Amino acid sequence: MARELSQRDYEILRKVAPEYGNDLCPSANVKFKSVLPPLCNHIAEDIDDFDRRLSNLSREDWEYLTELIADGDESVCCLSDEAKEVVLRHIANFSEDDAAKVSRIFDLEACGMI
């Protein structure tokens, strides 16, 4: 779902991509509408870089992103299965319950249920 990024979103983007100061998606030249997909698909060099960048996020950052995912405001449909596993692992570092909730969302999304 398309949304306007908030100040909180931009704070998170600065943590995970400090070298990137623009709010436009590098390859599509459109405004970011989410945090995780552009980080994974356009900014990170590869899945290991994506993983490393996500390790900069705090518990509060993950609680915020988890809430956005649960509400359908953070798009995750264009993340690869491998990227989704990385996201789940980072969420689980802080909350197994939140990781289980997001995992169910990923499963429903993969089945076309949401």
pLDDT digits (tens, 9 = 90+) for 9-24: 989 998 999 887 655 4
pLDDT digits (tens, 9 = 90+) for 53-108: 999 999 999 999 999 999 999 988 889 999 999 999 999 999 999 999 999 999 88
The neighbouring-strand residues paired with 31 are 24
Q: What is the pTM of this model?
A: 0.87
Query: Has residue 33 got a pLDDT over 90?
Result: no
Q: Which residue has the tokens 């289980």?
A: 100
Task: Supply φ then ψ for residue 109, to 5 degrees.
Answer: -65, -40
Q: What is the DSSP letter of 56?
A: T
First to last CA, the chain: 11
